[in-house]
Amino acid sequence: MDVTRIYANAQNRLLGLAGELTGEQADSPVPALPEWTVTQTYAHLAGICADVLSETLTPPATDAITARQVAERAHLGLGEICQEWKAATPAFLELLSTQQRTRYRLPVVDIWHHENDLRGALGKAPQVEDAEQLADFTIGGLAKQWSPELPSVRVAATDADRVWNLGQGQELHWNGPVFELVRAVMGRRSRARMFGMDWKGDPSSVVEHLSVMPIPERDLRV
């Protein structure tokens, strides 16, 4: 995964988006992250950057850590949060480029999904750039941990030359656009929406295991 480019591009888009928002939009809730507003989501992103640089955090972050990141910036406006985040980014990207451990790819997964969480909250179209690389990382990671006690699943992107095999064999087939697959695997698709995707075979026994994050009860726009 091209970690520094993906992160930098996502941040640039998010900083541009922040500059366009009204106060009401900045205070609006993010359905994918029910505890946070738009501004609080930016606070989390700035906090991840600061915490990793200060060695307060080695990814991934716990719920307690992300709550602290948001609380520490509760007195700041969106513009101030963005200034802090932007100032720390060159050193952060340098760190990401030199770290070989898989866990240092997680902030890139985080920013990419949160960008789409924010876009959905603001009624904007999804940002699909680099979806294939994110899918290779997350679905590929899921394949490495797939339990042999579960039915095998062949996951195929219908709009990209990507196939991932979860387990040995192809007892089930799960097909869909790469963006939908990667959002589902990261807990951004409801059970009903996952069941409604293109399946060959009954996915009942595997759906709960296909998401590395809690599955939302409600559908998200993006």
- The rounded average pLDDT for each run of 10 residues, N- to C-terminus, in the chain (222 residues) is 96 98 97 94 97 90 94 97 97 93 94 98 96 97 96 97 94 98 97 96 96 92 91
Residue 91 tokens, joined: 């050193």
Q: pTM here? A: 0.95
Where do the CATH 1.20.120.450 domains begin and end in the chain? 3-121
Residue range 72-101, pLDDT digits in tens: 999 999 999 999 999 999 999 999 999 988
HSE, CB side, 13 Å, CA atoms: give it for residue 16. 8
Where do the CATH 3.30.1050 domains begin and end in the chain? 131-209
pLDDT at 29: 97
The burial class, CB within 10 Å (0-12 / 13-18 / 19+), for 188 is: buried
State the sign of the Cα–Cα–Cα–Cα dihedral 15, 20, 26, 31. Answer: negative
Residue 147's CB is within 10 A of a number of other CB atoms, namely: 10
pLDDT at 167: 96
- Residue position matching structure tokens 């922040």: 18
Find the angle CA(176)-CA(38)-CA(111) to the nearest 5 degrees: 50
Residue range 152-175, pLDDT digits in tens: 999 999 999 999 999 998 899 999
pLDDT at 74: 97
**Cβ atoms 176, 198 nearer than 8 A:** yes
Find the angle CA(127)-CA(191)-CA(123) to the nearest 5 degrees: 30
Give me the CATH code for the 131-209 domain, please: 3.30.1050
Q: Top-level CATH class of 3-121? A: mainly alpha
